[in-house]
Each structure stands twice: as structure tokens, then as C-alpha cells.
Structure 1
Amino acid sequence: MSALRIEGFVIVSADGRLANAHNVMPDELKIDGDKRFFTAALDRADLVVHGRHSQEEQPNAPKRRRLILTGKVAATAPDPTNPKALLWNPAGCPFQTASREAGVTSGMVAIIGGPGVFGMFMDRYDTFWLSVAAKVRIPDGEPCFPGVPARTPQQVLSAHGLHAGEAQLIDAAQDVSVTPWRRVG
């Protein structure tokens, strides 16, 4: 058993999108209740993993160790713009090696996107926190996971062995809930 706990985090529109057609998270998905939930989760994370378009805008962001996925390095390399970050090419280096090189061998790893990054870890999540903004639709937007929109995000998570827990309302005014999807067994 790994000493790393893999947890995913995303907020999606009612139609399973996390960004608009230009790969930008629209303001309609920047919801206060989800921001508070996401910030608290990342404050507990030992390592944050994301692609080049995914980012966080919290005050503690510069303090966090992170892996940034890229094809521009052979395996891993220091990020020239962030001393806490390591550029990582999954084709040239396994995740366990990259996380060790980032200085993290135990604790919680927060996977924060984008779709390809989420897909890489689909069979490894211990918990995936799916926030849904029920009032928001982005018909031509970027799907949150590979396989969406042919399937819903919930169907994708279920197909990978994750089971929905009890949803929590995190922003009543915007009708946003978060559901933990956990691997059982």
C-alpha cells in the first residue's frame, strides 16, 4: 500500500464542463463556497499535481510543493518560475519517482486537473471530490474527464471503481454541492 493518498478536486458545470471553449475557467464556476472548500483541501495537501492550464489562486499557492505536467522535459526538471515546483513528464518518469523528487513520499496528493491529468489518476484515486454547479451550463466547454460528455462525470468515476458518498451543499445561493467519490475495498 502506498503512503500517498491520491485525492482529486474539480468543480464542474451541470453538463460536466470545467472550462470554456478557450480552456479558461469561466467566472460562473468561481463560486465562493467551492473556493473555500478547495482552499481548505489544498492547505492540507502535501503535493499538488496539475497541467499547465490548471492553477490555483489562493494566497498559500506559492508555499505548496507541486508537480506540473509537461511534455517539454524528458523526465523531471525544476520549474524556473517556482522553486517549490517540479516540471514532470509522465512519459519519462513514473509518478512515484516524480513525487519523491518533489520531496513528497507520504501524505495527501491533490490532483487539480485538467482533464488529461484527472484521467491519468482515474484508477488511483482514494477519493475524488466532485463539486457540481447545478445552475451553470457550458455547452461548448472543456469536459472535466476523458469520456465526458458521452458519459456524465459521475458515470466516469463509477466506471473506475469509485462510489459516491453523501453530497454536501457548499454554496446554497449558487446551488453547489460536493460529493466525495471513494474507492471501497
Structure 2
Amino acid sequence: MPALRIEGYVIVSADGRLADADNVMPDELKFEGDKRFFTAALDRADLIVHGRNSQEDQPNAPKRNRMILTRKVGATAPDPDNPKAILWNPSGASFEAACAEAGVRSGTVAIIGGPRVFDMFMDRYDTFWLSQAPRVHLPDGEACFPGVPARSPQEILAAHGLKPGQPQLLDPADGVSVTPWRRVA
């Protein structure tokens, strides 16, 4: 199988959270610069992978090929609600088999969450794009990765062999930036 490039994307609060206590991404974690960055990345991706609670509410979302993780199917199955999506149970099929079922054998795969989905790919990411909103705090919210807040998202990425690149400022007024964490060969 030709190479798949695996990239992760998340925006987190200062305390490493991606959602509030109700498991919803709050408005205070939504920034125009980050939305533009995220939208452009997903527009370039060949496949979007996420859990049942993670999604993207964007105009191009229905046009994107996607794989939704679930335990409701044995291996893979068409998504009855979306002709551009398949359902995937990692216990029943390998990631490569699920990608082939989705018609993606090479290109970029964008992993957009949630925490368990991010964790499944920790040792496979080529790049993980960590956006941070340093002025937002969600102390009772859902952590972006298993192990947060005992360890920071940066510590977890580093523990999996990823190294930070140069941060890019996305929303200067709010201090929101994105840092590419890349695998060093």
C-alpha cells in the first residue's frame, strides 16, 4: 500500500481541554484564524477520521470523505446517513483495511478527534497540529488526550517521538497559535 500521511488537528484551552464539561466545544474555543487554518487543512485531506462525537460544522463537510469510529459495526460498513463516509470498528478491521474500504490508499489522512481517536494514532502521526487558546480555561472539560491534565499535551506528543516546530500565530488578538509537532526520522 502506498504511503498514507497521518496528521492530527486539535485546538485546546490553556489547560489542555478540547470540550467543556458537557463534551461540547464551547464558543470561547472557536477563533476565526484557527477555523480558517483547520478548514484549509481538511480541504486538502484525502480522508477525515473521527469518533462519533467529533465532527466539523463547515460548508465543505458533506463533500469530504470520512471514517467514523464506532463499536456499532463488526469491521466496516457504509454510513447510512452519509454517502461519503464509512463506519469503522478498529477491533474488527485494521486501519489500512478501513482506508482501502473508504477508497483511500495514499494521501493525507486528517485525524480530528476525540481523545481516544487521537491516542490510537500517537505513534503514527507524521505531524500533529496543536492549536492553543492560552486565555481560555475549561478546568472541568474533556482533555484532548488521555493523560491530560497530569501531563500537558506537549509532554504527551514529545513522549511519542514528536518534536515541536515553529508556532504560527492564528489569532493575534487572542494569542491563539498552532504548532506543528513532527516525527523525527
TM-score by length of 1: 0.99
Residue 157 of structure 1 and its aligned partner are, at CA, apart by 0.1
Q: Which residue of the partner structure matches residue 133 of structure 2?
A: 133
1:16-95 paired onto structure 2 within 5 Å:
16-95=16-95
The one-letter code sitting in structure 1 at the alignment partner of 2:14 is: A
SS of the aligned residue for 1:7 comes to strand
Q: Which consecutive unaligned segments of at least 5 residues does structure 2 have?
A: none
CA distance in 2, matches of 1:74, 1:82: 18
Q: Which residue of the partner structure matches residue 143 of structure 2?
A: 143
Q: Which residue of the partner structure matches residue 183 of structure 1?
A: 183
The one-letter code sitting in structure 2 at the alignment partner of 1:102 is: A
CA distance in 2, matches of 1:35, 1:53: 18
CA distance in 2, matches of 1:100, 1:130: 28
Residue 2 of structure 1 and its aligned partner are, at CA, apart by 5.2
SS of the aligned residue for 1:28 comes to helix
Runs (4+) off by over 2 Å: none
CA distance in 2, matches of 1:21, 1:73: 28
Q: What value does the CA root-mean-square deviation take over the aligned residues?
A: 0.8
Q: Which residue of the partner structure matches residue 104 of structure 2?
A: 104
CA distance in 2, matches of 1:14, 1:101: 38
Seen in structure 2, the aligned counterparts of structure 1 residues 63 and 164 have a Cα distance that, compared at 3 Å, is same
The one-letter code sitting in structure 1 at the alignment partner of 2:63 is: K
What is the aligned-residue identity percentage?
76
SS of the aligned residue for 1:83 comes to coil
CA distance in 1, matches of 2:129, 2:44: 14
Number of equivalences = 185
CA distance in 1, matches of 2:68, 2:132: 25
Residue 23 of structure 1 and its aligned partner are, at CA, apart by 0.7
CA distance in 2, matches of 1:31, 1:64: 22
Residue 174 of structure 1 and its aligned partner are, at CA, apart by 1.5
The yes-or-no answer on 1:124 pairing with 2:103 is no
